[in-house]
Structure 1
Amino acid sequence: MLYISVLKNVTITLDEKVASWARVRAAEREISVSRLVGEMLKETMLQEESYQVLMQRYLSQSPHLLKDPGTRYPDRDELHER
């Protein structure tokens, strides 16, 4: 399947210190500030999407017992004995 990427121009306002930091980081990577911001936003978006997928997977699991029926939970000392 062929995906065509459509780029959208946006205007943002940055604090002077943030803009300076972004220019330095972009120069270090030999890319534009625009590309740097775009890559950072894309990375954040993908992380959030991944988190949502994993959270849904976790929440869709059926609950499981932490102990056998009729037995007691271990006390704190038993859990942490070395």
Structure 2
Amino acid sequence: MSNLTISVDDEVLKRARIRALEQGSSVNAVLRELLEAYAGVGSVQTAAAGDLIAQSLRATSRRGDRTWSRDDLHERR
């Protein structure tokens, strides 16, 4: 992962830090998410997730009608 240095007005950074804290985040995380969206990284991940879901819906393997209890799964007697 690369580091990026930017210049921003002190007051803007102060307000951004406060807003990020209110949202339970950080300015770094907010900027990273914005850059990923700007670069289209999110759309690639969304497409990959969609492909995975489509493949799982087409899958012919099933678990059948069998149900297991917690004891069955952990071989408890």
Q: After TM superposition, is the score higher than 0.5?
A: no
Structure having the higher helix fraction is 2
TM-score calculated relative to the size of structure 2? 0.43
TM-score calculated relative to the size of structure 1? 0.41
